[in-house]
Amino acid sequence: MKIMVIQGPNLNMLGLREQNIYGPMKLEQIHEQMRGFAQQNGVEIEFFQSNLEGELVDKIQECLGDADGIIINPAAYTHTSIAIRDAIAAVSLPAIEVHISNVYAREEFRKKSLVAPVCAGQIAGFGPFSYHLAMVAMLQILNEIKAMKDMQQQQQGQQQA
């Protein structure tokens, strides 16, 4: 199993920007915690961050055939990018939208996600722990998909016998 973690604009500035909202952890520290959890669970994990919308779309598309699930923090593109939304829908992989801050307790424009409708779920407001919760949720989703495929193969085998 492989999970791709995609980080949007300005997340490379974590630990420096608006610590009252995003906290003191740097992006690499968050990734290191996720890497440890992935290793404990026998999951491959890859990280990508860009401030450019097109690069995020390209990375989502590259997940097709390369990853089993996507954890994405589209950051400001959450509220503006139909292209990112359409890329997630196109690859048909389970995706979880993550936000460090509680976007629903902030400015009005942050309360609308264009990405959420094409994701399995959204986790917001738990600080960097939001990523850990997303990892737990993604493992559950991927295990359920695997169990369904195994059951379908077993049924097919019984029908052929």
Q: How far is CA 30 from CA 20, 40, 54, 88, in A?
A: 17, 16, 24, 23
Q: How far is CA 21 from CA 14, 24, 76, 126, in A?
A: 10, 9, 14, 11
Active site positions, annotated: 22, 99
CA atoms of 60 and 16, how far apart (whole Å):
27
